[in-house]
Amino acid sequence: MKLRARRKGESATDGKSLDGKSLDGKARAEETDDDPAEEVLPEAVAGDQQSIATANDSRSVLGRGAEVPPVRVTGLGVQIKDGDSRKWIVRNLSFSARAGEVVGLAGPSGSGKTTVLMCLAGVAHHAEGEVHVAGKGRLPGQLSPPSELRKVGIVFQDYHLVQALNALDNVSLPLRLDGTRWKRAAPEAIHLLAWFGLSRSVFKYPSQLSGGEQQRVAIARAMVRQPAVLLADEPTAHLDATSTRLVAESLHELALYGTCVIVSSHDPRLLSRFEHVVDLGRR
Ligand SMILES: Nc1ncnc2c1ncn2[C@@H]1O[C@H](COP(=O)(O)OP(=O)(O)O)[C@@H](O)[C@H]1O
Ligand SMILES: [Mg+2]
């Protein structure tokens, strides 16, 4: 993951949250603490600091206007079985999301947010329209082949971390399942955890972490294979205001590095931070 390692005392928002307010003392302390991960694998962390190319750099070369949006949904319709008949859950939904953009998917419970995200992920069928994600188009009835699934990272409301594994092992897991050797996977995971301000939690188990920390571990795990698109399904539903702010900042920071981020939520605290919101409840 080519994220620029933060200098000590620096958050990507330079000490400010996205709404311009300073991070509170607790969050700040976490950002500025000494980094035990650097003691564990100093070469890996230092190496990443030197080999940084941000997506903003690459965008300026490619020209943002010429980009094909990594997510494009046209006339999406999804049906479910309802007894002997079928019922539309989502109908005639169209939107697109650019690389480097965070798009909110809003709507009350039951409005189809999870359904739309699962269609984008390629693990649920749609009945109408076209879904283009990370360069591949899918017609009704088609799911993504396994090779395509890695282009998409998914974050769930309930984190879904493996309780028996520490943060480092949770984040390394997708790489290890891909056959990546521990020697390569561990530095990647440690770098991401450090980037999310979790250096002190590398060896902690999920039960030893707060909800916000667990969610940031889950986001790091979703990002470790460098997906073009990150889908987050109500990622702050169980979080307090401070953790919500930190998770929202993390999602925005990932977008700054070129990831296309789609976040479902009915939380106005979160949705108010997104410039582009697709409202499933008001169409
Ligand atoms: N596999 C399914 N079988 C039956 N009903 C479903 C299924 N998936 C979703 N639904 C229904 O579709 C609607 C939208 O669900 P969902 O996408 O989970 O909404 P949201 O995430 O906005 O709460 C709900 O009424 C839900 O009960
Ligand atoms: Mg849902």
* Confidence label for 280 from pLDDT (cuts 50, 70 and 90): very high
Q: For the segment 63-72, what is each residue's pLDDT rounded down to a tens digit?
A: 344 578 999 9
Among the listed residues 153, 110, 137, the one whose alpha carbon sits nearest the alpha carbon of residue 281? 110
Residues 57/60/61/65 CA torsion (nearest 10 deg): 140
In this structure, which ligand is nearest to the CA of 83? Answer: 1
Say yes or no to pLDDT of 90 above 60.
yes
Let me know if domain 1-63+97-124+139-283 sits in CATH 3.40.50.300: yes
DSSP labels, 145-214: -HHHHTTEEEE-TT----TTS-HHHHHHHHHHHTT--HHHHHHHHHHHHHHTT-GGGTT--GGGS-HHHH
Which atom of ligand 1 lies nearest, measured to the CA of 108?
A: 22
Q: Give me the sign of the Cα torsion angle 196, 202, 204, 207.
A: positive
Say yes or no to pLDDT of 78 above 90.
yes
* pLDDT value at residue 175: 95
Q: What is the pTM of this model?
A: 0.79
Say yes or no to pLDDT of 180 above 60.
yes
* Confidence label for 150 from pLDDT (cuts 50, 70 and 90): confident
Say yes or no to pLDDT of 249 above 50.
yes
* pLDDT value at residue 116: 97
Report the share of the chain in percent with pLDDT over 90: 62
* pLDDT value at residue 145: 85
Which atom of ligand 1 lies nearest, measured to the CA of 111?
A: 22
Ligand 2 ion: Cβ-proximal residues, 5 Å cutoff: 113-114
Q: For the segment 3-53, what is each residue's pLDDT rounded down to a tens digit?
A: 655 444 444 433 333 233 332 333 333 433 334 443 333 333 333 322 222
- Please tell me the distance between residue 8's alpha carbon and the centre of ligand 1 in angstroms: 44
Q: For the segment 193-242, what is each residue's pLDDT rounded down to a tens digit?
A: 999 999 999 999 999 999 999 999 999 999 999 899 999 999 999 999 98
* pLDDT value at residue 148: 81
- Please tell me the distance between residue 197's alpha carbon and the centre of ligand 1 in angstroms: 35
Residue spans per domain, the chain: 1-63+97-124+139-283
Q: What is the mean pLDDT of residues 148-174?
A: 95
* pLDDT value at residue 19: 32
